[in-house]
């Protein structure tokens, strides 16, 4: 029979706050394709053109739809990561910090963050193609770039994967030691 500790008030409260932030993040992620469909002249003024890897260009309806479809790649990856983060903090809120479900959620979240960090530069390149495909010949392009925050996200993902592996090994050692007592 496994004992489940009662989580402290602070751990429960922290888990609830993080889960609320996850819901807000998921809502913002789901808005991205919709905003790209509604994109117009505000794309340039909001600075989104440089973030997406495109320069000022006219955007027609077909380009908006292509951009919204391309945005589903990082949106899907982000929702996958947020789902596992939700599961992790759900377990934390119940006091099962070192349980197998929490461990599994941490590992999957860590890998999702790392893979998403690698996917984002590709998605931005695909976005430039999607937005410039309707341009006349000679004005279509692929923008390929890696920014400092891409490298930071990759390092963050690698650190999370390492922490998840260390915690998995610590849990395995604790289970082995518990068998000897």
Residues of the chain with pLDDT under 50: 1, 45-47
CA angle 100, 104, 108 (to 5 degrees): 175
Predicted TM-score (pTM) of the model is 0.80
CA 115 to chain centre: 9
pLDDT digits 0-9 by tens, 98-121: 888 999 999 999 999 999 999 999
Q: Are 111 and 79 within 8 A, CB to CB? A: no
Write the burial class of residue 12 (CB in 10 Å: 0-12 exposed, 13-18 middle, 19+ buried): middle
**How high is the pLDDT of residue 1?**
44
DSSP category for residue 136: P
End-to-end Cα separation, the chain, in angstroms: 15
**How high is the pLDDT of residue 5?**
66
Encode 75-95: b = buried (16+ Cβ within 10 Å), e = exposed.
Answer: bebbebbbbbbbbbbbbbbbb
% of the chain at pLDDT higher than 90:
45
Cα–Cα distance, 132 to 116 (Å, whole number)? 24
């Amino acid at each position: 029979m496994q004992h489940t500790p009662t989580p402290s008030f602070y751990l429960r409260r922290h888990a609830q706050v993080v889960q609320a932030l996850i819901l807000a993040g998921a809502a913002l992620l789901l808005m991205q394709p919709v905003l790209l469909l509604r994109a117009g002249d505000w794309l340039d003024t909001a600075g989104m053109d440089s973030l997406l890897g495109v320069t000022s260009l006219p955007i027609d309806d077909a380009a908006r739809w292509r951009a919204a479809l391309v945005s589903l790649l990082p949106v899907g990856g982000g929702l996958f990561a947020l789902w596992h983060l939700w599961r992790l903090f759900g377990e934390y809120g119940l006091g099962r910090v070192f349980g197998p479900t929490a461990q599994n959620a941490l590992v999957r979240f860590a890998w999702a963050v790392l893979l998403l960090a690698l996917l984002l530069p590709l998605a931005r390149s695909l976005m430039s193609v999607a937005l410039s495909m309707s341009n006349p010949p000679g004005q279509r392009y692929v923008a390929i770039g890696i920014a400092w925050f891409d490298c930071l996200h990759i390092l963050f993902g690698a650190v999370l994967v390492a922490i998840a592996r260390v915690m998995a090994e610590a849990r395995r050692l604790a289970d082995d030691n518990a068998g000897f007592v």
